[in-house]
Chains A and B, each alone.
Chain A
Amino acid sequence: MALTRRQRSRLVRWGVYAATLALLAVTALSVDWGRLYDALFDWDIAKQLFPDVLTVAAKNTLIFTTLGFVGALLLGLLLALMRLSSAKPYRWFAAGYIEVFRGIPALVTIVLIGFGLPIALGVRVPGIYGPGALALSVVYGAYLAETIRAGIEAIPKGQMEAARSLGMSHVRAMVTIVIPQAFRVIIPPLTNEFVALLKDTSLISVLGVTAATLELTRFGRSAVNTYANATPLIVVGVVYLVLTVPLTRLAGYLEKRSRRAR
Chain B
Amino acid sequence: MRRTRSWMALLLVLTLGVAATACGDDDDDSGSTDTTAASSDTTAAAGGETAATLDGVTLVSDGELTVCTDSPYPPFEFEGDDGEQTGFDMELLRVLIAPLDLELAPTVTPFDGIWLQPAAGTCDLVGSAMTITPERQAAALFSDPYFDADQSLLVRVDDQDTYATLDSLAGAVIAVQTGTTGEAYAQENAPEGAEVKSFDEAAAMFLALESGDVAAILQDFPVNAYRATQDDQFVVTETFTTGEQYGFGASLDNTALIDVINTRLAEVRDSGEYDEVFSEWFGEAPQ
| Residue interface mask B206-237, A partner, CB < 8 A = 1 | 01101111100000000000000000000000
| Bound complex: CA A26 to CA B196 (Å) | 49
Indicate if B73 sits at the interface (CB-CB under 8 A): no
Given known A-B contacts A206-B204, A208-B213, A228-B139, A30 and B23 have beta carbons under 8 A apart: yes
Nearest CB of B to A10, in Å: 12
| Bound complex: CA A23 to CA B22 (Å) | 9
Contact of B112 among A117, A207, A225 (CB under 8 A): A225
Interface size on B, residues (CB 8 A): 39
| Bound complex: CA A224 to CA B115 (Å) | 12
| Residue interface mask A1-19, B partner, CB < 8 A = 1 | 1000100100010011001
Indicate if B63 sits at the interface (CB-CB under 8 A): no
B residues 162-208 near A (Cβ < 8 Å) are: 173, 175, 178-179, 195-201, 204-205, 207-208
Q: Interface residues of A toward B: which range? A: 20 to 34
Residues of chain A with a CB closer than 8 A to B175's CB: 208
Do A26 and B23 touch (CB < 8 A)? yes
Indicate if A85 sits at the interface (CB-CB under 8 A): no
Contact of A26 among B4, B22, B29, B112 (CB under 8 A): B22
Indicate if A118 sits at the interface (CB-CB under 8 A): yes
Residues of chain B with a CB closer than 8 A to A187's CB: none
Indicate if B266 sits at the interface (CB-CB under 8 A): no
Number of cross-chain contacts by CB at 8 Å: 89
Residues of chain A with a CB closer than 8 A to B208's CB: 115, 207-208
Indicate if B1 sits at the interface (CB-CB under 8 A): yes
Residues of chain A with a CB closer than 8 A to B173's CB: 210
14 contacts between A and B (CB under 8 A): A12-B4, A16-B11, A19-B11, A30-B23, A32-B27, A111-B204, A115-B208, A119-B210, A124-B212, A207-B204, A210-B195, A210-B196, A222-B179, A225-B113
Interchain residue pairs A-B with the least CB separation, the first 8: A118-B211, A115-B207, A208-B197, A225-B113, A30-B22, A26-B19, A208-B199, A19-B15
